[in-house]
Structure 1
Amino acid sequence: MTDPKHPGEATTGPEGPDAPLHRRGIKSYVIRAGRMTQAQTRGLDEVWPRFGLTIADGRQHLDDLFGRRAPRVVEIGFGMGTSLIEQAETHPETDFIGIEVHSPGVGKLLDEVDKRGLTNLRVYREDALAVLEQCLPEGSIDTVQLFFPDPWPKKKHHKRRIVQPAFVALIRTRLALGGTFHLATDWEAYAEWMAEVMEAAPGYANTATPETAPYVPRPAFRPLTKFEARGERLGHGVWDLIYRRDA
């Protein structure tokens, strides 16, 4: 079982290892056209101008962006936004930045942001690697969340998995010292891959106890989505990993 928010085949290209991560030619997602509901279209047309961000906006000054100094959470690949909306509504004292390339999910999230009167959430409809590299200042984020990314289960596709050494190294530079990188997946083999990459990454410490390491029990602060609840009823596992930047 996997979250269907990032289906399909990725594209490859010829760029070399010295290019920025987002231009090295291998993507962990593909943008597919989908039917937009009226609410999703409204979100993109009417709400985006207030809460949407682009690469062209450049490096952000987050205190200015949100008009305050607060804890900051970035969620990469929020799908239809259900979890992110719940977090933003439950934690008004925290500012959230969501990154998602699929228009229906972005539109739905923005529609909900407006309907619920939320002011502590901003959205990028861009490649997450480009956002991290070009828009988010170093040491500015308290938590980065990566929930149920596409596992690319076939061995020949493993290079398309977003969790790679260069990616987690980039995440670390954007985290504040003591900040956390929270990953979750419902594919055990991908959980093992995540743990292997993270355990080898310098500057991170696993927050799991010896009894559960390398995984942590599902934290109460991570909302249980309908997708995940269905998986639990079917007996499918979910693996959470939380690593703290310690250097």
Structure 2
Amino acid sequence: MNSSDQQVPFRRTVVSYVQRGERMTVGQQRAWDRHWDELGAEVTALPEGPLDLESWFGRRAPVVLEIGSGMGETTAQLVAAEPDVNYLAVEVYKPGLAQLMLRAEKLEVSHLRLLRGDAVVLLREHLEPGALDEVRIYFPDPWPKKRHHKRRLVQAESIALIASRLRPGGVLHLATDWENYAEQMREVCEAEPQLRNRFADEEGGWAPRPEWRPVTKFENRAHEEGREIRDLIYERV
């Protein structure tokens, strides 16, 4: 184990999310009842130690973790487009996970697993160093008020933890439409010695927007309101 793997545990006193209502539509409840026991798990209910991902997915394949899958609009499309990966989505919002299962059902995908709870706890306690091939953080809550910036997910400690769970050559992909948060993301990731910016030679170090990342209603609204979308792509050294 190298020194970077010994940077954890990282324990937060402030979390990056708020608990929202859990009322579901009839369709979401049916999807939950049909699929949760097979596809989902509560982070707080996981056995001690690392997840046996190969057993849970029923196969060995590259593992992609998406932190904050929201209502699953983007996630479901990405899962359907990547049949050769094992796709993990972690989210705190129960109706969002139910909606994602509903979307996945319609797309007939079977290589998606869902985790409900704190992504930092998942990373720290249930994923081994080098377990992940890619981590995606798309449009995390920007906590725009300055006094709330401490609640943002992308901080030095969380990025060090994420980087330690990536295999060498693994990818961290971030996207946001908040300029101040984009700059914070870049600053934090540039300072993390486990990571290398794949687009360091581009202006500002920003990555070109990948064509394969679906454009959501949320992203379209950001464009309409004049907010520029920024992507950052880093590689585990």
Q: TM-score, normalised by structure 2?
A: 0.90
- Asked if residue 183 in structure 1 is aligned to residue 174 in structure 2, the reply is yes
C-alpha distance in 2, partners of 1:232/1:153?
A: 17
Displacement of 1:204 in angstroms is: 0.6
Contact in 2 for aligned 1:72/1:95 (Cα 8 Å) = yes
Q: Which residue of 2 aligns with 1:238?
A: 229
The correspondence for 1:225, drawn from 211, 216, 220, is 216
Q: Secondary structure at the match of 1:213?
A: helix
1:162 and 2:158 matched: no
Residue type of the alignment partner of 1:35 = R
Given the alignment of the two structures, is residue 97 of structure 1 paired with residue 85 of structure 2, yes or no?
no
AA matched with 1:53: A
Structure 1 counterpart of 2:39: 51
Change beyond 3 A, Cα 1:230–1:154: closer
Residue of structure 2 in register with 1:71 after alignment: 62
Tell me the TM-score normalized by structure 1: 0.87
Q: What pairs with 1:100-179 in structure 2 (closer than 5 Å)? A: 100-179=91-170
Q: Distance in 1 between matches of 2:83 and 2:166?
A: 21
> Given residue 160 of structure 2, which amino acid in structure 1 is its aligned partner?
A
- Contact 1:47/1:111 (8 A) holds in 2: no
User: Which amino acid in 2 is paired with 1:192?
Assistant: E
1:37 partner letter: T
1:19 Cα deviation from its structure 2 partner:
9.7
Superposition deviation, residue 234 in structure 1: 4.1
Q: How far apart are 1:20 and its partner, in Å? A: 4.8
Equivalences for 1:205-216 in 2 at 5 Å? 205-216=196-207
Aligned to 1:32: 20
What is the identity, as a one-letter code, of the residue corresponding to 1:170?
A: L
Percent of aligned pairs with the same residue?
Answer: 45
